[in-house]
C-alpha cells in the first residue's frame, strides 16, 4: 500500500510541470502590500492575478535579456533560520542587477510567506513551474506600435516564451523590457500580424492576430506543460516496477495461502472420515 501512495505522489509531481531546481539568496523589496508588476524591468502588459503581491525580480544572469519574464517560480526557504518552510508561487516581473546567479529579490508579501521574515538575506531553493493560467495566450502590442514599428509581448502563457518570429522574420528580444522586436516592417498591417511563439518547454504556437497598439489580444491556443524530466521518468518507471513486483508477490502469497488452506481442509476432511470409519469399526453393532 505504501508503494502505491509513493507512485501516485510521484505521478502528481510530474504532472505539475517543473524544471531543475536552483539555489540562491532571497531578499525583498517594495511596499508591504506589493505593487503593480507593470513597473518592473519586464514592463508586463498582462500578468497573473497573484502577481501584484507575489512577484520576483530575478538575478541579472537568469533574467537572460528578458527571456524569463512572465514565467512562474516556486520558492521554498531552506535556511535554518526561516520561520516558514512553505512553498510559494510567484511570477517573474523584474530584474535584480546586483543579484548573483540563483538569487531572487521578492515582493515583501511573497518574502514574508516564504521565510516568515520582513527583511534579511536567507537561503532558498526554487524552480520554474507552469503558471496557473486559464484561456489562451495574450499577444500584446507596445504603445506606439504600427505597421512601421512593432514590439510584441506574449502574456498569460503557461511556461513563458523564449523566442518569437513575427510576420515570417526573426524577432529578437528588446532586452531592456520584455518585448520581441519585429524585423519585418512596412508590409503587414497590425490587423494581420502573424506570430510564431516557442515556449521554454519547446512547443510552438502559430497564429494570425489582429493587434492594436497598447492592447493585448487573446488567441485560442495555449502551451502544454513541461515534458517529464528524465530523472522523474526513471523514478516513475522504477516505482511502477516496484508496485507491480509488490502486487505480484502479494498475489503469489495469497495463492499460496489459498492452496495451503485447501490442503489443510482436505487433510481435515480425510482425518474426519478416518475417525468416522474407525469409530464405526470399533463401536459394537446392535
Note the pLDDT tens digit of each residue in 41-76.
999 999 999 999 999 999 999 999 999 999 999 999
Per residue in 195-245, pLDDT (tens digit) is: 999 999 999 999 999 999 999 999 999 998 765 454 455 655 677 777 777
182: in domain: yes
- DSSP classification of residue 71: -
The single-letter DSSP state of residue 191 is: G
DSSP per-residue codes, 195-236 = EEEEETTS-EEEEEE---BTEEEE-S-----PPPPHHHHHHH
150 and 69 together in one domain: no
Contacts of 28 (CB under 8 A, 6+ apart): 105, 106, 107, 108, 110, 111, 118, 119
| In contact, 199 and 72? CB cutoff 8 Å | no
Is a pLDDT exceeding 50 seen at residue 13? Answer: no
Pair 225, 158: CB distance under 8 Å: yes
Cell of 25: 539568496
> Strand 122-129 to strand 104-107: parallel, antiparallel, or no bridges (unpaired)?
unpaired
Query: Is 278 domain-assigned?
Result: no
Instruction: Indicate if 160 and 185 belong to the same structural domain.
Output: yes
| Domain span at 25 | 18-129
173 shares its domain with 106 = no
Tell me: do 45 and 116 sit in the same domain: yes
Question: Is residue 7 in a domain?
Answer: no
**Do 116 and 158 fall within a single domain?**
no
Q: How far apart are CA 215 and CA 210, in angstroms?
A: 10
**Is residue 12 included in any domain, yes or no?**
no
pLDDT at 9 over 60: no
Q: How far apart, in whole angstroms, are the C-alpha atoms of residue 34 and residue 9?
A: 34
Q: What is the CATH number of the domain that holds 182?
A: 2.60.40.760
Domain count, the chain: 3
Which residue spans within the chain are E strands per DSSP?
Answer: 18-29, 55-59, 72-77, 87-96, 104-107, 122-129, 138-141, 151-155, 161-166, 169-170, 180-181, 193-199, 204-209, 215-218
| 46/52 Cα distance (integer angstroms) | 11
Exposure of 81 by Cβ count < 10 A (0-12 exposed, 13-18 middle, 19+ buried)? exposed
Is 10 part of a structural domain of the chain? Answer: no
- In this prediction, residue 12 has a pLDDT band, given cuts at 50, 70 and 90, of very low
pTM of the model: 0.73
Q: Is residue 284 part of a domain?
A: no
Same domain, 28 and 116: yes
Q: What is the DSSP letter of 37?
A: G
Amino acid at each position: 500500500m505504501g508503494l502505491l501512495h509513493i507512485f501516485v505522489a510521484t505521478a502528481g509531481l510530474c504532472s505539475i510541470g517543473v524544471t531543475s531546481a536552483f539555489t540562491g539568496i532571497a531578499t525583498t523589496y517594495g511596499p508591504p502590500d506589493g505593487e503593480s508588476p507593470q513597473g518592473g524591468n519586464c514592463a508586463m502588459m498582462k500578468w497573473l492575478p497573484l502577481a501584484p503581491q507575489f512577484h520576483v525580480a530575478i538575478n541579472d544572469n537568469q533574467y537572460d535579456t528578458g527571456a524569463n519574464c512572465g514565467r512562474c517560480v516556486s520558492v521554498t526557504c531552506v535556511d535554518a533560520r526561516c520561520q516558514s518552510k512553505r512553498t510559494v508561487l510567484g511570477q517573474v516581473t523584474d530584474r535584480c542587477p546586483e543579484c548573483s546567479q540563483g538569487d531572487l529579490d521578492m515582493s515583501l508579501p511573497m518574502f514574508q510567506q516564504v521565510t516568515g521574515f520582513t527583511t534579511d538575506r536567507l537561503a532558498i531553493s526554487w524552480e520554474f513551474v507552469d503558471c496557473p493560467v486559464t484561456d489562451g495566450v495574450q499577444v500584446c502590442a507596445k504603445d506606439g506600435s504600427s505597421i512601421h514599428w512593432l514590439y510584441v509581448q506574449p502574456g498569460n502563457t503557461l511556461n513563458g516564451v523564449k523566442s518569437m518570429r513575427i510576420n515570417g522574420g526573426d524577432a529578437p528580444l528588446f532586452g531592456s523590457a520584455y518585448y520581441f522586436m519585429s524585423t519585418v516592417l512596412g508590409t503587414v498591417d497590425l490587423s494581420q500580424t502573424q506570430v510564431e511563439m516557442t515556449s521554454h518547454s519547446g512547443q510552438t504556437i502559430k497564429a494570425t492576430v489582429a493587434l492594436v497598439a497598447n492592447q493585448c489580444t487573446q488567441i485560442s491556443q495555449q502551451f502544454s506543460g513541461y515534458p517529464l524530466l528524465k530523472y522523474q521518468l526513471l523514478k516513475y518507471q522504477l516505482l511502477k516496477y516496484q508496485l507491480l513486483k509488490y502486487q505480484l508477490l502479494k498475489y503469489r502469497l495469497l495463492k499460496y495461502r489459498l492452496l495451503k488452506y485447501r490442503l489443510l481442509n482436505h487433510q481435515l476432511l480425510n482425518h474426519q472420515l478416518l475417525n468416522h470409519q474407525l469409530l464405526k469399526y470399533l463401536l459394537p453393532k446392535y
